[in-house]
């Protein structure tokens, strides 16, 4: 099945890197947006299978954009791309319907895995993001 992906990222360098990575992964169509408002508009027009949304974008952040995209495209798979590991941000992302949480530092290794996971209906979190959560909830008597 041909995969259609929306990449919403305000950094041209990061956007191009993601584009190149997805091309190597045989994604058939890649749509690009530079800000959250454009991402919501383009998602409605292009109906992508997967939306990769940067958290920190002008106009509207990735979580706000995800909420609006989810209303328009309830079957779209949503992935948040961020440099931030914060429990409140992770909770807000998953509450908004995002099913993939990928750290920018790990994107080269994790992004294709995240796409595969969310397309199967699973969730994905970069190991660097899940580690602090695991450590927070790990009983202190476990070595």
Residue 142, pLDDT above cutoff 70: no
The answer to whether position 14 is within a domain reads yes
The answer to whether position 29 is within a domain reads yes
The answer to whether position 44 is within a domain reads yes
Distance CA 84, CA 77 (A): 21
pLDDT in tens, 110-121: 999 999 999 999
Residue 143, pLDDT above cutoff 70: no
DSSP calls for 46-63: H--SEEEEESS-SSS-HH
The answer to whether position 137 is within a domain reads no
Tell me the residue range of the domain where 76 lies.
9-50+58-97
pLDDT in tens, 122-131: 999 999 888 7
The answer to whether position 112 is within a domain reads no
Alpha helices by DSSP H, listed for 1-86, are 12-24, 36-46, 62-72
| pLDDT confidence of residue 28 | 80
The answer to whether position 107 is within a domain reads no
Residue 140, pLDDT above cutoff 70: no
Looking at the structure of the chain, the number of domains it has is: 1
The answer to whether position 139 is within a domain reads no
Query: What is the reported pTM?
Result: 0.91
CATH number at residue 31: 3.40.50.2300
The answer to whether position 125 is within a domain reads no
pLDDT in tens, 35-72: 999 999 999 999 999 999 999 999 999 999 999 999 99
């Amino acid at each position: 099945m041909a995969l259609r992906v929306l990449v919403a990222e305000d950094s041209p360098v990061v956007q191009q890197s993601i584009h190149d990575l997805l091309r190597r992964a045989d994604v058939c169509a890649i749509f690009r947006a530079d800000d959250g408002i454009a991402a919501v508009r383009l998602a409605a027009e292009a109906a992508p299978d997967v939306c990769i949304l940067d958290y920190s974008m002008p106009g509207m952040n990735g979580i706000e954009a995800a909420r609006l995209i989810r209303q328009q495209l309830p079957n779209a798979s949503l992935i948040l791309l961020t440099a931030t590991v914060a429990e409140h941000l992770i909770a807000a992302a998953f509450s908004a319907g995002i099913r993939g949480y990928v750290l920018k530092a790990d994107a080269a290794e994790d992004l294709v895995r995240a796409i595969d996971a969310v397309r199967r209906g699973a969730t994905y979190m970069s190991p660097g993001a899940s580690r602090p959560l695991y450590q927070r909830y790990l009983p202190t008597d476990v070595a």
